[in-house]
Amino acid sequence: ECFRSYSHPRESYEDHSQFLKKSRYASLFLLKPTDYKGWARGLKKAGYATDPSYANRLITIIEDYELYKYDVQKGYNRGASIAVPTYSHQVFLSNDLAYIIARDGDTFKSLGKEFDIRWKRLVKYNDLHKEYTITAGDIIYLGKKKAKANKKYPYYVVRDGDSMHSISQKFGVRMKNLYKMNRKDEEYVPEVGHSLRLR
């Protein structure tokens, strides 16, 4: 993103609201508007700022000047309008990643348009090919999956119907990393009862 100038502060606020509608910030809108620490850390994680100390510095400023008090000013909880992105799909979190559950009729292009993200990136993020037809119930990630699963899930015991791709989607782990961690090649088919490393 480039730096811009505006003729009126309102234009800056409106432009910034549109900027935050990008898919990489979708998970932030699952937080409470008053969770300033979560927002600060989430913005940093999403790549909003390059300064490694951005989140801590922002939190310090908010607390030093008691800016959190403005979150509970009269009128805030009385129908005050908050500019948040509206999506037709509910956004969920897995492994700190935003994802949606596909519905009938969804395509990469329609989801890309809804979440303001290039459809080819959605294909890549989800370890799929562009000819793949999305079906209802598919997990579709809105950002790049992680190299390993959440610390709560070091291993996974394969169940009937599992594939490397379904396991990858279930835990938000890139397929190439899943193969690498388990010293398997792309021809490997997981067998029921086998234990796979997730991190």
pLDDT 10s digits, 91-115: 888 887 889 999 999 999 999 999 8
Q: Which residues contact 142 (CB under 8 A, 6 or more apart)?
A: 23, 24, 26, 91, 97, 98, 99, 100, 115, 117, 122, 125
Reported pTM: 0.62
What was the pLDDT predicted at 52? 86
Q: Where exactly are the structural domains of the chain?
A: 9-72, 155-197
* Torsion (CA) 113, 115, 118, 122 in degrees, nearest 10: -120
What was the pLDDT predicted at 27? 81
What was the pLDDT predicted at 170? 94
Beta strands in 33-147 (DSSP E): 92-94, 97-101, 139-141
CATH number of 155-197: 3.10.350.10
